[in-house]
């Protein structure tokens, strides 16, 4: 008999891992709107509004602020391939999984990464970045603002100041910070940044918002030779998003509808209010976890959108995550690289950064840990978290 394929019926998960986060229903509705041509006057207006709203969330006046068609890694690759050529040195912050990915892409561009290393779970030090700049010919510093693999927030503002001193460009990965964690591209002095749609923006994965200032646009234009990638060449993509709308590729129209709605929600709520919601939710979560006898990976520089928590001895990582998924419908993440089996990653991103989810995950974790023989006093975590929300 011929194979029959059932209708899609995905489970309704509470996505509290490193991303994707849950999508706002308004975004899903926007994505189901009728398709128009990608050069339809209606869509051209939508493109303009998406650029305006992206400038709002990035806090920038940068003209070239657009979504790249592809996930966060496409934004990473776009940034690096446009900035780095054969023989170029690039200072790369290396204190997590995504810093490693940046370093790998620099090598693939023919460049040499000057790696500034810190232990996973520690933040980068501005002094170490300065040393690397002073002892190299690097004209670009690349770092991850919000390291999703370790739950560490980098001192971006401080490092930007150093980078300015050396007249280099600062590239910041803001995949897990945009829309949820304090970020001000212009005021911090970030020259170029890319993000992703599936974290604090509560949109499905598929686009990578990017912003670059005129200094960076000029840097890209002045580079010798052609950019290695045709699809990710910002000189070409720019022409599609500019007034002339010179055809480059067919924009993923439904994704752009979705992104516009996600950004419109943040605009209505207020960006700074969103940052505060993330901060409060993560503080409450950490207090709750500590009260249950659990420790975060780092004690300082905790990232509001993602908390990395150490797995207590004797507790099996995979078993706990499986129980959370099967019995409580909650997804949390495991560790990456060297941290595999050592940490869990709990994301509270966008609409998920709320009191209800903090309570739900603490309750589920408490019950699951008890099943694993880890002693937790009933409701102690929740009581500690509630103190933060009640303040």
Ligand X SMILES: Cc1ncc(COP(=O)(O)O)c(C=O)c1O
**Span interacting with ligand X, options 67-75, 340-348, 359-367, 379-387, rule CB under 6 A:** 67-75
- Residue 144 engages ligand X in binding (rule: CB under 6 A): yes
CB of 331 or CB of 366, closer to ligand X: 331
- Residue 229 engages ligand X in binding (rule: CB under 6 A): no
- Residue 180 engages ligand X in binding (rule: CB under 6 A): no
Alpha helices (H) in the chain, listed in sequence order: 25-31, 41-58, 72-83, 97-108, 126-134, 156-165, 185-188, 214-222, 234-241, 253-269, 271-291, 317-328, 355-371, 380-390
Residue nearest to ligand X (CB): 72
- Residue 78 engages ligand X in binding (rule: CB under 6 A): no
In the shown chain, the binding pattern of residues 95 to 124 toward ligand X, with x for contact by CB under 6 A and - for none, equals ---x--------------------------
Q: At closest approach, how far in Å is the CB of 237 from ligand X?
A: 17
- Residue 17 engages ligand X in binding (rule: CB under 6 A): no
Q: How many residues bind ligand X (CB under 6 A)?
A: 14
Q: At closest approach, how far in Å is the CB of 175 from ligand X?
A: 4
- Residue 148 engages ligand X in binding (rule: CB under 6 A): yes
- Residue 71 engages ligand X in binding (rule: CB under 6 A): yes
Residue of 205, 252, 293, 312 that binds ligand X (CB under 6 A): 205
Report strand pairing: 112-117 vs 140-144: unpaired
Q: At closest approach, how far in Å is the CB of 221 from ligand X?
A: 26
Report strand pairing: 207-212 vs 192-194: antiparallel
Buried b (16+ CB within 10 A) or exposed e, 81-98: bbbbbeebbbbbbbbbbb
Angle at alpha carbon of residue 102, lines to 73 and 141, rounded to 5°: 120
- Residue 196 engages ligand X in binding (rule: CB under 6 A): yes
- C-beta separation of 281 from 181 below 8 A: no
Q: At closest approach, how far in Å is the CB of 98 from ligand X?
A: 4
42's CB contacts (< 8 A; 6+ apart) are 36
Buried b (16+ CB within 10 A) or exposed e, 38-73: beeeebeebbeebbebbbbbbbbebbbbbbbbbbbb
Query: Which spans of this chain sit near ligand X (rule: CB under 6 A)?
Result: 18-19, 71-73, 76, 98, 144, 148, 173, 175-176, 196, 205
């Amino acid at each position: 008999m011929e194979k029959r394929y059932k209708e899609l019926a995905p489970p309704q998960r509470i996505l509290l891992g490193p991303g994707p986060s849950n999508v706002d229903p308004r975004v899903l509705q926007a994505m189901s709107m009728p398709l128009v041509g990608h050069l339809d006057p209606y869509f051209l207006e939508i493109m303009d509004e998406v650029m305006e709203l992206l400038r709002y969330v990035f806090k920038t006046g940068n003209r070239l602020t657009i979504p790249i068609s592809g996930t966060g890694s496409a934004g990473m690759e776009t940034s690096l391939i446009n900035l780095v050529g054969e023989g170029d040195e690039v200072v790369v912050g290396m204190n997590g999984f995504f810093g490693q990915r940046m370093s790998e892409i620099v090598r693939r561009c023919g460049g040499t990464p000057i790696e500034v290393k810190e232990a996973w779970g520690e933040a980068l030090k501005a002094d170490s970045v300065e040393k690397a700049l002073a002892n190299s010919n690097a004209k670009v510093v690349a770092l991850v603002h919000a390291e999703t693999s370790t739950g560490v927030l980098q001192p971006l503002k401080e490092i930007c100041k150093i980078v300015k001193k050396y007249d280099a460009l600062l590239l910041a990965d803001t995949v897990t910070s945009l829309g949820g964690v304090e970020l001000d591209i212009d005021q911090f002095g970030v020259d170029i940044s890319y993000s992703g749609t599936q974290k604090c923006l509560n949109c499905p994965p598929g686009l990578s918002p990017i912003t670059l200032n005129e200094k960076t646009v000029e840097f890209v234009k002045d580079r010798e030779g052609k950019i290695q990638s045709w699809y990710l060449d910002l000189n070409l993509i720019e022409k599609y998003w500019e007034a002339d709308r010179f055809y480059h590729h067919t924009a993923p129209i439904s994704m752009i509808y979705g992104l516009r709605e996600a950004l419109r929600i943040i605009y209505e709520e207020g960006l700074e209010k969103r940052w505060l919601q993330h901060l409060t939710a993560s503080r409450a979560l950490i207090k709750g976890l500590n009260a249950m006898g659990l420790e975060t990976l780092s004690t300082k520089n905790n990232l509001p959108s993602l908390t990395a928590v150490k797995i207590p001895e004797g507790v099996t990582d995979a078993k706990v995550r499986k129980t959370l998924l099967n019995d409580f419908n909650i997804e949390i993440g495991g560790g990456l690289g060297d941290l595999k089996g050592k940490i869990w990653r709990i994301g509270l991103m966008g609409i998920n950064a709320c009191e209800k989810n903090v309570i739900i995950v603490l309750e589920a974790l408490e019950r699951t840990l008890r099943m694993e023989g880890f002693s937790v006093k009933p409701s102690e975590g929740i009581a500690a978290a509630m103190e933060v929300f009640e303040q």
